[in-house]
Amino acid sequence: MLTGFDDTLFHQTADVMAFTPVSDHRFFDRSIYGIYAPDHSGHIVTSIGVYKNNDVLDGFVMGQINRETQFNQRYSRRLSTDYERPGLGPLQFDVIEPMKRHRIWLAKGDHPVSFDLEWNAVLPPHLEARHHERHHGRLVRDYTRFDQFATASGWIEMAGERFEVRNWFSWRDHAWGVRPGVGGFETNTGGGLSAHGYFAIYFWFLTDEAGGFIQLQEDSEGRRKALIGSVDSRVGDRSAKVVDFSHDIVFEPGTRIYRTAHFSFTTEDGKKWNADIEALGRGWVFKGSGYNSGYNDGRGLGAFRGEYLEEQDVYNLAHPEDVVLPDGRTVRPLHREQIARVRVNNRPGQAHCPIIATGFNRRYGFHVDPGTGQDADW
């Protein structure tokens, strides 16, 4: 199947651009944007992703305007009906100037969130080290991702309230390859987050002087499994790799949701950094986007759902950790991503800072209920 993308000189295999040489059904290519108000009065996260081997293009919008409500809008369509247009009904993304200027918009309609935004980069993209992992010989993940900071301007409407957006803080990531938990199903040989304990910090911050992308993973005993990241100066083009990192976190009592955190880290040029983080509002519940078996059919991102589908619902976030779903069930999703205020070396800024702690964790006193295998805290 030829597309307009084949009329370029950027083929990387002997096949047409519509196809991938990777046979894994989970192969994906996805862009995601977060846009946050300076006064933290309103926020959105939106994404569009392609699953070539499933003939799927899907996407989502999540919106928050207070501490208690998250609006979710999910979309899915057959990719091959319109391969060249990266859009899903009212949701559209346009790359005006690669890595520098984009337009993202969601036309008004019978849904609570709509917007029209121009996204302008403030730092070059940060390319992460390739993510590659096997369990019992099976390839669990093999993907590439880059991250970038920007400002966004335009307008957002949520539940009848209009926000004039002027240079709001924005982050994005763009990832492609193979990862677990997408594509409609996962085999049983790959394993998952261990009940013995998984701890991760994803710290993306931006001040008037610098921006940083840092990822830390530890086991249940606090032994470091991975540390990647860098800090980029907004003055000139200096960039330095992060070589050491420590943390001290205060969690909401009886939960695994953090309230404040202090990070100390060092870059390869010997510079010391200190960051104080304050969580704001409620962490995004990514189940509403389609991650974590989202969508009404429970199959999550990338599953084929016919020619076109739209879904929307609302989550109650009144409790810091427990989430009330539309059917009245209360759940504690593991995948929460937190909006935050930050001071880095005494410079104020904004951050996107998920902290995920599952299973046993000795330092922060998290345990696992031996009867259910579920997280339990004492």
Per-residue pLDDT reduced to its tens digit, 11-31: 888 888 788 888 899 999 999
Residue-wise pLDDT for 329-349, tens only, equals 999 988 899 999 999 999 999
Residues 6+ apart with CB under 8 A from 112: 63, 71, 73, 158, 159, 312, 314
Per mean pLDDT, which of 39-43, 84-88, 131-135, 163-167 is the most reliable? 163-167
The first and second tokens of residue 114, run together, are 């709509």
Residue 250, pLDDT score: 98
* Other Cβ atoms within 10 Å of 232 Cβ, number: 20
Average pLDDT over residues 44-51: 97
Lookup: tokens for 249: 């976190």
Fold of 27-179+287-326: AttH-like fold (2.40.370)
What average pLDDT does the segment 153-176 reach? 96
8 Å CB contact between 42 and 61: no
Looking up tokens 């606090």 gives: 222
pLDDT greater at residue 133 or residue 285: 285
Phi-psi region of 167 (alpha: psi -120 to 50; beta: other; left: phi over 0): left
What is the percentage of the chain residues whose pLDDT exceeds 70?
95
Q: Of 105, 102, 79, which is closest to residue 92 (Cα–Cα)?
A: 105
167, 150 Cβ separation under 8 angstroms: no
Mean pLDDT, to the nearest integer, of 59-67?
Answer: 91
Q: Which pLDDT score, from 0 to 100, does residue 188 have?
A: 67
Res. 280: pLDDT tops 80:
yes
The 10s digit of each residue's pLDDT in 180-224 is: 888 888 876 555 545 578 899 999 999 999 999 999 999 999 999
Q: Identify residue 253 by its one-letter amino acid code.
A: P
How confident is the model at residue 191, as a pLDDT? 52
